[in-house]
């Protein structure tokens, strides 16, 4: 059976660079991906994401702004510790996107997101306003490339436990 992968664009387009995940998703709509890869725009709807994850995925790839202190536009590929995130005390919010609350809700519902990877980008600004900063906009093609490479390489990686997670920034 082929693996099932969910690529989820998350973020708030009204908060500048927080809309990074949504912009990457828009570009992915024009790229050929394996038929077992589903892409979806979740925006700030964490509850929707949690319920969709109940369908069961081998891998979930979240695309989001990820402030970690590097230069704006820096792309990160991280593996999330879902077990740790699901221990959060945050309550799920139907109008918010807090990954720890999403995974806590998913755990409470008996679901499993599989392996969770995050393709993140260091934001320049997340204040009110539409559109990405120049540095983050310039990073969109790199994020698309990473997601495409992950998706096409996923079947072998899902079956190869010796391939480690890729923590930290890509440089």
What pTM, to 2 d.p., does this model score? 0.82
Each residue's pLDDT tens digit, 114-135: 899 999 999 999 889 999 999 9
CA distances to 45, 88, 170 from 29, rounded to whole Å, are 20, 33, 24
Each residue's pLDDT tens digit, 21-63: 999 999 999 999 999 999 999 988 878 888 888 888 899 999 9
Contacts of 161 (CB under 8 A, 6+ apart): none
Distance CA 113, CA 81 (A): 11
Give the distance between the most distant pair of CA atoms in the chain: 45
């Amino acid at each position: 059976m082929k693996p099932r992968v969910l690529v989820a664009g998350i973020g708030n387009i009204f908060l500048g660079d927080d809309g990074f995940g949504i912009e990457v998703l828009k570009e992915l709509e024009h790229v050929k991906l394996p038929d077992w890869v589903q892409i979806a725009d979740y925006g700030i709807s964490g509850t929707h994401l949690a319920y969709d994850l109940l369908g069961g995925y081998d891998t979930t790839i979240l695309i989001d702004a990820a402030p970690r202190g590097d230069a704006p536009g820096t792309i990160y590929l991280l593996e999330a510790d879902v077990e740790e995130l699901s221990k959060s005390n945050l309550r799920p919010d139907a109008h918010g996107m807090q990954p720890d609350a999403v995974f806590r809700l998913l755990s409470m519902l008996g679901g499993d997101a599989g392996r969770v990877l995050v393709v993140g980008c260091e934001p320049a600004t997340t204040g009110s306003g539409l559109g990405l900063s120049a540095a983050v906009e310039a990073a969109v093609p790199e994020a698309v490339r990473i997601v495409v490479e992950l998706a096409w390489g996923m079947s072998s990686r899902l079956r190869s436990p010796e391939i480690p997670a890729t923590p930290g920034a890509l440089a």
